[in-house]
Structure 1
Amino acid sequence: MLTAAGTISFVIPVYRNERAVTLTYQKIRGALASDLSAYDYEFLFVDDGSDDGSLDELLRLRESDAKVRIISFTRNFGQMAAILAGLKGATGDLVLQLSADLQDPVELIPRMVRDCEAGSELVIGHRAERADRWTSRVTSWLFYRIIRMSFPQMPAGGFDYVLMGRRVVDSFNSIEVRNRFFQGDLLWMGYKTTFIPYTRARRTIGRSQYTFAKRLKNSLDAILDSSYLPIRFISLAGAVVALIGFVYALDIAYWRFTHDVPFPGQAPIMILILFIGGVLMLMLGIIGEYVWRIYDEVKRKPNYVVREVFGLDTHA
């Protein structure tokens, strides 16, 4: 159980958030001053290769508050890389990961901390409702529906807003895998977890940088990293195709020998060839995704490259 005296690290990935980072910082400081004054704090902003004025805004914050620390990447490596860098650099007894877009309510922070004080080691704020566009809601629902086949405890709307105890952070950092699934890894570790539902606000500052291509990549990483379903699908698809071929052969034989109906020609053969060929290509694609991930792991490239740090002596 955590005693109410320690440090809270706020890990905040930043990508093209120049208009939001200062307000995010101010809102969190307000929550600390009003409800969590017993705690010390540090902010660890990870600039994920922003090409706007985000880094300049962060440096201005650091001029006014030495507890603001910054990791700056050489280019955009993605949100997962920024989270990994932030968690490795965080030194607090509690570590809170949240976005810089002000869609997650900072008013929830005191309650999350109280849950950790009461014995939880992982407190997850999950999106019970979201004010995003309908396309985002539908794709998110479909994605997490698939993920919940491997992680039944995964909230239906997913989560990114997480408060972790020190043991959780250390365990998470000890997992040496390149293609990570943040939510899946946290749930897989099995620490005592509390879930807090909230309504995610609509973005009011800036535009979402979470493009369809990034969403697709993260979805593939999550599904292939955490689920046996793609491989199981290959086996099932192979059985279905074989069954279809067998039934079709029986149908042809039946009509040929009982009703003297001649074989209808090349069209059915072409249909079967195209169908089987398409299924085989799909299977090869799934296997190829697994092979690529194995190859990617063997290369042992880092998840990110740091250009410079501000306020940290070193960073792994």
Structure 2
Amino acid sequence: MTLLSFVIPCYRSERTVAKVTEEIMATVTARPDVDYEIIAVNDCSPDGVLGVLKTLAKQNPKIRVISFAKNMGKDAAILAGYKAARGDYIVNLDDDGQCPACELWRLLEPLEKDACDCATAKYAVKKESRFKRLGSRLNAEMAHRMLDLPKNTRMENFTAVKAFVAKEVIAYKNPYPYLDGLILQVTNRIADVPMEERERGDGNGSGFTLRKSVHLFLNGMTAFSVKPLRVASVCGMVFAALGGVWGVATIIRKLVDPTVTEGYSSILAVMLLSSGVIMLLLGLIGEYLGRIYICLNGSPQYVIRETVNFPAEEDPARENGHG
């Protein structure tokens, strides 16, 4: 019998997560050859989602709950779920009802046929705000250029992977996890499955903020690629070359026409531009160094406060994100 593990990162979803679990159960129980487990990870949500999850777990022992001690982000929550998963395939989906869980079998079809190692939904129209759409596009473009994500592929909130992929992903101990990059480190056999994204079950916005967008962008840009540092080196060489050309041109002009006045405005403009670029590149290098320092300190990806429906020998709280 095939075992499916569903990982649901939960944050501000007390009104929607129960419907998500109900749809999962209704979809899976239609196949007698498939069993399931649901791992709901409470990312220290400030609403009553933990109480809802405990009630669901009490009603169904196949629903297991992990609760973080502090908010660590969606990707960390998914990694905690991956680590606790026992299934042949692991499916992660959002807690707001936007992911069409009823399309599960279409998502799993290319995995079962061994056509890929990871299958992700491909939405023709994204049900999201303009601001979130812009952030998503920027992060997707970053993934294409920095992480070699195949063109026309976009890792979505409804994704399924084979067990070996999840096993390799959870071996990553960096406190700045970026799930898309981790999966791409393991495999590039990724399939897109067209389907339609739904509206949020509670009718509210996604809670997506500029801070989260920047955090996700930096995680993807610095965790798996040194291309930004190479760009910094190229910028340094370009500006050095331009400075040399400018200096030679200034000397020649002075020799040809000694009456030429000094261009203080242009010199000031060049100095301000070059200084700004230098500060930007120093900040980029500092970001890399800061993350290296935090990694060397052994900071955990997450800290688990409590769990529900886990036997003692499988309780993920024993390791608490340190691996």
Distance (Å, rounded) in 2 between the aligned partners of 1:6 and 1:225: 34
Deviation of residue 265 (structure 1)? Answer: 4.9
Corresponding residue number in structure 2 for 1:101? 96
Distance (Å, rounded) in 1 between the aligned partners of 2:37 and 2:190: 24
The one-letter amino acid paired with 2:73 is G
Corresponding residue number in structure 2 for 1:257? 255
Structure 2 residues without counterparts, runs of 5 or longer:
none
Corresponding residue number in structure 2 for 1:9? 5
Corresponding residue number in structure 1 for 2:32? 37
The structure 2 residue matched to 1:147, chosen from 140, 143, 147, is 143
Change (3 A) 1:166 1:157: closer
* Contact map agreement 1:15 1:47 (CA 8 A) in 2: yes
Q: Deviations over 1:98-141 (max 9, x none)?
A: 11111121122111223222124322223443121222222222
- 1:122 maps onto 2:118 in alignment: yes
Distance (Å, rounded) in 2 between the aligned partners of 1:49 and 1:22: 17
* Contact map agreement 2:65 2:307 (CA 8 A) in 1: yes
TM-score between the two structures when normalised by the length of structure 2:
0.90
Corresponding residue number in structure 2 for 1:295? 293
Q: How well do the aligned residues superpose, as a CA RMSD in angstroms?
A: 1.9
The one-letter amino acid paired with 2:276 is G
TM-score between the two structures when normalised by the length of structure 1:
0.91
Structure 1 residues without counterparts, runs of 5 or longer:
none
Q: Deviations over 1:2-37 (max 9, x none)?
A: xxx221111000011001101111111121133x33
Report the more deviating stretch, 14-23 or 54-63: 54-63
* Contact map agreement 1:10 1:97 (CA 8 A) in 2: yes
The structure 1 residue matched to 2:43, chosen from 23, 42, 48, is 48
The one-letter amino acid paired with 1:10 is F
* Structure 1 ranges of 4+ moved more than 6 A: none
* Contact map agreement 1:145 1:156 (CA 8 A) in 2: no
Corresponding residue number in structure 2 for 1:71? 66
Distance (Å, rounded) in 2 between the aligned partners of 1:260 and 1:304: 67
The one-letter amino acid paired with 2:40 is F
* Contact map agreement 1:129 1:157 (CA 8 A) in 2: no
Distance (Å, rounded) in 1 between the aligned partners of 2:48 and 2:149: 41
Distance (Å, rounded) in 2 between the aligned partners of 1:77 and 1:129: 29
Distance (Å, rounded) in 2 between the aligned partners of 1:204 and 1:20: 6
Corresponding residue number in structure 2 for 1:168? 165
Deviation of residue 56 (structure 1)? Answer: 1.1
* Contact map agreement 1:126 1:160 (CA 8 A) in 2: no
Change (3 A) 1:236 1:127: farther
Distance (Å, rounded) in 2 between the aligned partners of 1:50 and 1:8: 26
Report the more deviating stretch, 38-47 or 141-150: 141-150
Corresponding residue number in structure 2 for 1:202? 199
Corresponding residue number in structure 1 for 2:75? 80
Deviation of residue 247 (structure 1)? Answer: 2.6
